[in-house]
Amino acid sequence: MNFSLKIVSPDGPTFSGEVESVSLPTAMGEITVLSHHVPLIAVLASGEARIKQGNETIFLSVSSGVIEIRPDNTVYVLAETAERAEQIDLARAETAKLRAEELMKQRDRMDDEQFALVMAKMEKELARLRVGKKWRNVG
């Protein structure tokens, strides 16, 4: 049995359709949602989202947001970023990760809020790299 999944970010919709399941990273660990899941609101973490649709598995990189599982068998994912694996520019993600690593070396010049932002950026870029490489079967 399927349910409706909608994944959106400020850049617009990334996915919308009927699916068998979706696995999402949360602040408390990964959750897998199936049809008629109990209603839930959870914090989306940076990581890999896996959508099972028929014989196909769709991979996305997602970061920071909210997951809402509604009683009407609809799941909404509102993400800061959501990018399909095949659209991830690995070179750009690697460059962004290296920039974040350089910023992390300056920890002593940052307050806690600035450091948390740099860490979030690092987690986002690492997720993009993992998802992009996995989809391409690289590294």
Which parts of the chain sit beneath pLDDT 70? 138-139
Residue 117's pLDDT is 86
What's the pLDDT score for residue 114? 86
Distance in angstroms (rounded) separating the CA atoms of residues 2 and 73: 8
Q: What is the pTM of this model?
A: 0.85
Backbone angles phi, psi at 91, to 5 degrees: -65, -45
pLDDT score of 133: 87
Q: What is the pLDDT of residue 93?
A: 86
Question: What average pLDDT does the chain have?
Answer: 92
How many other CB atoms are there within 10 angstroms of residue 70's CB atom?
A: 14
| Residue-level pLDDT at 138 | 55
Q: If we measure between CA atoms, which residue out of 39, 79, 85, 37 comes closest to residue 60?
A: 85
Which domains occur in the chain, in start order?
A: 3-85 (2.60.15.10), 89-136 (no CATH)
